[in-house]
């Protein structure tokens, strides 16, 4: 399926992609977005794996292999001007046509995606030759995760969906997104499964970062009884954090790493009101 010219072109394409995929690159930020969406889509964290800069692919920036057998190929373009005829030696349309031909020859179930940063680029209509298997989406580029969270509702929503906290503040979301980016950057970016990602998060999640898959704090039944008897004191166990409020105007939180020492003191002293409880915090 590959000519000598194809091999030379793909090798050059892959080398160029790798050199442009470091740090807060467009490719890495989009990967964080897709990882968040996949973690939400697959609650058991076992439904897909991701690879960046795929060898022997014409649409090669990001590849997602679903356990169902479906293959998704993404080309990401963070450029000021873009059309289907863009490209030096080969056009964007050519790359998509060749990827379609490869997948059809192998009898694969697949989809092709073009992701672009400049909302003013006119990429419609999609060329007829690839319109049956290709989708296009705008994803903005900002040089920092914080800006992306502030400026992109889609990105912010994706991170919110994997947070165990109800209506999390931006600083909490930034922590989650930063963890995902760091983990993605630390891998070889080759066949990285959702299971691998979740396991890595749990290994570094010593203090608790409130992902939806964080293990809940196991609160003692007697402690629950004590908390519930304290007037105007409310609490919730979410992710790996114990949250509390008192008379609606006082609130706090306690991470899993420090909760159990607090609970020991509660069980020993059996506080009857908030001020007795506060003295144990």
Write out pLDDT tens, residues 179-215: 899 999 989 999 999 999 988 887 775 445 677 666 6
Q: 215 lies in a domain?
A: no
Rounded to the nearest integer, the mean pLDDT of the chain is 86
Same domain, 65 and 195: yes
Integer Cα distance of 251 and 257 in angstroms: 19
Tell which of 148, 175, 204 closes a domain.
Answer: 204
For the cut 70, the answer to whether the pLDDT of residue 5 exceeds it is no
Domain of residue 138 covers 4-204
Average pLDDT for 230-237 = 86
Q: 214 lies in a domain?
A: no
Highest mean pLDDT among 9-18, 64-73, 177-186, 232-241: 64-73
For the cut 80, the answer to whether the pLDDT of residue 22 exceeds it is no
- pLDDT of amino acid 215: 62
Average pLDDT for 224-228 = 89
For the cut 90, the answer to whether the pLDDT of residue 164 exceeds it is no
Average pLDDT for 94-117 = 96
- pLDDT of amino acid 207: 46
Q: 245 lies in a domain?
A: yes
Q: 194 lies in a domain?
A: yes
- pLDDT of amino acid 168: 83
Same domain, 194 and 265: no
- pLDDT of amino acid 23: 43
Average pLDDT for 91-115 = 95
Same domain, 54 and 191: yes
pLDDT class of 11 with cuts at 50, 70, 90? low
Tell which of 143, 176, 204 closes a domain.
Answer: 204
Same domain, 98 and 156: yes
Same domain, 193 and 246: no
Same domain, 8 and 60: yes
Tell which of 178, 204, 230 closes a domain.
Answer: 204
Q: 216 lies in a domain?
A: no
Same domain, 42 and 112: yes
Give the residue from 60, 68, 63 showing the smallest Cα distance to 42.
Answer: 68
Same domain, 197 and 98: yes
Same domain, 239 and 130: no
Q: 28 lies in a domain?
A: yes
Looking at the 3D structure of the chain, how many domains does it have? 2
Same domain, 180 and 226: no
- E strand residue ranges, the chain: 48-52, 62-66, 71-77, 110-116, 134-138, 192-193, 233-238, 241-246, 250-255
Q: 79 lies in a domain?
A: yes
Q: 27 lies in a domain?
A: yes
Same domain, 136 and 271: no
- pLDDT of amino acid 206: 46
3-state helix, strand, coil in the chain (%, to 5): 45, 20, 40
Higher pLDDT, 168 or 49: 49
Contacts of residue 75, Cβ cutoff 8 Å, sequence gap at least 6: 59, 60, 61, 92, 95, 96, 112, 113, 114, 115
Same domain, 164 and 273: no
């Amino acid at each position: 399926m590959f000519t000598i010219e194809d091999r030379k072109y793909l090798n050059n394409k892959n080398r160029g992609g790798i050199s442009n995929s470091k740090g807060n690159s467009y490719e890495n930020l989009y990967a964080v977005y897709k990882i968040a969406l996949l973690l939400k889509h697959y609650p058991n964290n076992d439904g897909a794996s991701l690879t960046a800069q795929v060898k022997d692919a014409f649409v090669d920036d990001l590849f997602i292999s679903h356990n169902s057998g479906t293959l998704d190929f993404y080309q990401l373009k963070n450029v000021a001007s873009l059309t289907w005829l863009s490209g030096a030696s080969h056009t964007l349309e050519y790359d998509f046509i060749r990827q379609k031909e490869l997948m059809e020859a192998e009898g694969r179930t697949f989809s092709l995606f073009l992701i672009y940063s400049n909302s003013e680029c006119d990429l419609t209509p999609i060329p007829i030759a690839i319109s049956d298997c290709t989708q296009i989406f705008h994803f903005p580029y900002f040089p920092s995760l914080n800006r992306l969270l502030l400026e992109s509702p889609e990105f912010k929503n994706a991170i919110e969906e994997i947070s165990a906290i109800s209506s999390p503040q931006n600083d909490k979301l930034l922590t989650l997104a930063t963890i995902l980016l760091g983990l993605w950057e630390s891998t070889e970016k080759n066949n990285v499964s959702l299971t691998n990602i979740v396991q890595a998060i749990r290994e570094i999640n010593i203090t608790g970062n409130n992902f939806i898959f964080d293990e809940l704090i196991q609160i003692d039944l007697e402690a629950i009884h004590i908390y519930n008897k304290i007037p105007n004191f409310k609490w919730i166990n979410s992710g790996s954090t114990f949250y509390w409020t008192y008379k609606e105007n006082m609130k706090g939180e306690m991470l899993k790493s420090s909760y159990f020492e607090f609970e020991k003191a509660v069980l020993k002293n059996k506080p009857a009101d908030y001020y007795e409880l506060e003295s144990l915090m």
